[in-house]
Structure 1
Amino acid sequence: MFSGIIERLGEVTAVEPVADGAMRLTLQTAFPDLAQGESLAVNGACMTIVASDETGDAEVFVSAESLARTNLKTLVAGHLVNLERAVTLATRLSGHLVQGHIDGEARLASVIQEDGARSVRFDLPASLAPYCVEKGSIALNGVSLTLNSIEPVDAGRFAVGITLIPHTWTHTNLQHARVGDPINVEVDVLAKYVERLCHASLNA
């Protein structure tokens, strides 16, 4: 479990295809105390540390399923990724509950600078629209963000508007995204549970 508060940017140092369409990803995390088996969110996707050393170099195994569902498949050496270690029971929940299970890919649609902040628009798959509400939470590349606006679904897509404050812009890899780039999306898990419970009640 994560909170969507990015701890640092990590650099991809190696990408190695392995059997069955999977990938081994090597990262310079700058975390000197990662343990084998520990969970690490990479661009919001929960990965398991399979090897690490005291310099912060770490390896994760990315399954074919994860590659199909996330933007990790686009990574090459030199790319920067958002990193967050799993929360503990003593962690302040400054963002919202994030599982690290990616629901789909958004596309960056536009970025407009406004009074030091940035007004950003993302296009999302229509299937995720039921879980998005104005002033609700969403995780984009693992970053916990608040939805300012939601546009109607059109041609299988809909758009959301988000404000990125200067700290979020400079401390995450959203600053490097270009229009059209894929962005990992995780909607609020509480919304998914509410839908399931309501659906069961309405069909009882």
Structure 2
Amino acid sequence: MFTGIVEELGKVVSIEPAGTTGESLLLTLRGPLVSSDAGHGDSISVNGVCLTVVGRGEDTFTADVMKESLDRSSLGGLSVGSEVNLERAARVDGRLGGHIVQGHVDGTSRLLSRNPGDNWDVLRFSLPAELSPYVVEKGSITVDGTSLTVSAVSAPGADEEFFEVSLIPETLRATTLGGLPAGATVNIEVDVVAKYVERIASVAASRPRA
């Protein structure tokens, strides 16, 4: 489990095929902070995807990326030198600075536009129709592993569904979102609480009334 508070910007050091089918990858990333105490089997969020550490170097760590993760996220589009957002798993005795983030990507989105302001940038992202019910104004969403507050969302049934987030200078500086170009693909994870509420409501509605 994570909080969506990015600890450092890392870089992809190498990408190698893993296994005999070539459908998975072995990803090595440089991140001095997150790798400083990383142990075999630890979880680290890479652009919002929970990956398991299988090796560690002086200031690097290596993780397997299975086909499921490649199919559901943007990790397959990384190249050597790509910057990524990194966060170690949350400590149970720490403060929850963001929100509950599982590192289980629900889908990908595309940056439609960015509108720079005096002290913040407003970024508009596409919103997949299947995830639209879980995104609400002032609610939480994770974009490439970064916990953000939704500042605006398109009206139900809009021709182009979208959500917006307003990024303060610290977020622009400390994450990959600061230099994200229009058209770029990002990983998004909706608030897990919304998904549980939907499930509970649907099960309750399906039960016969006494």
Same fold? TM cut 0.5: yes
In structure 2, give the amino acid aligned to 1:48.
T
1:166: which partner in 2? 169
Kept in 2, the 8 Å contact 1:6–1:142? The answer is yes
Structure 2, unpaired ranges of 5+ = none
Q: Which moved more, 1:1-10 or 1:12-21?
A: 12-21
**What residue in structure 2 maps to residue 128 of structure 1?**
131
Aligned residue for 2:8? 8
Q: Which residue identity is paired with 2:70?
A: L
Q: By how many angstroms is 1:18 displaced?
A: 2.2
Tell me whether 95-104 or 178-187 shows the greater mean CA deviation: 178-187
2:119 is the counterpart of 1:116: yes
Would you say 1:147 and 2:156 are equivalent positions?
no
**Matched residue, 1:45:** 49
Taking structure 1 as the reference length, what is the TM-score of the superposition? 0.96
Residue 197 of structure 1 pairs with residue 200 of structure 2:
yes
Residue aligning to 1:36: 40
SS in 2 for 1:191: helix
- Give the drift of 1:9: 0.5
Alignment of 1:54-133 (within 5 A): 55-133=58-136
Per the normalisation by structure 2, the TM-score is 0.93
Distance 1:106 1:201 in 2: 31
The gaps in structure 1 that reach 5 residues or longer are none
Q: Deviations over 1:131-160 (max 9, x none)?
A: 0111000000000000011103445x5100
Please name the residue that 1:24 is paired with: 26
State the SS of the aligned residue for 2:188.
Answer: strand
Counterpart pick for 1:178 among 172, 176, 181: 181
Conserved 8 A contact 1:33-1:56: no
1:101, 1:186 within 8 Å by CA — same for their partners in 2?
yes
CA RMSD of aligned residues (A): 1.1
- The one-letter amino acid of 1:41's match is S
Amino acid at match of 2:45: A
Q: C-alpha separation between the residues in 1 aligned to 2:37 and 2:191? A: 30
8 Å contact kept, 1:34–1:56: no
Percentage of matched positions with identical amino acids: 43
8 Å contact kept, 2:172–2:179: no
Cα distance in 2, alignment partners of residues 192 and 84 from structure 1: 23
Does the CA contact (< 8 Å) of 1:70 and 1:102 recur in 2?
yes
**How far off is 1:169 after superposition?**
0.5
Task: Flag the structure with larger Rg.
Answer: 2
Q: Distance in 2 between matches of 1:154 and 1:103?
A: 21
Give the count of matched residue pairs: 202
Question: Which amino acid in the other structure matches residue 25 of structure 1?
Answer: L
| Offset from partner CA, 1:101-128 (integer Å, 9 cap, x none) | 0000010011111122101100021100
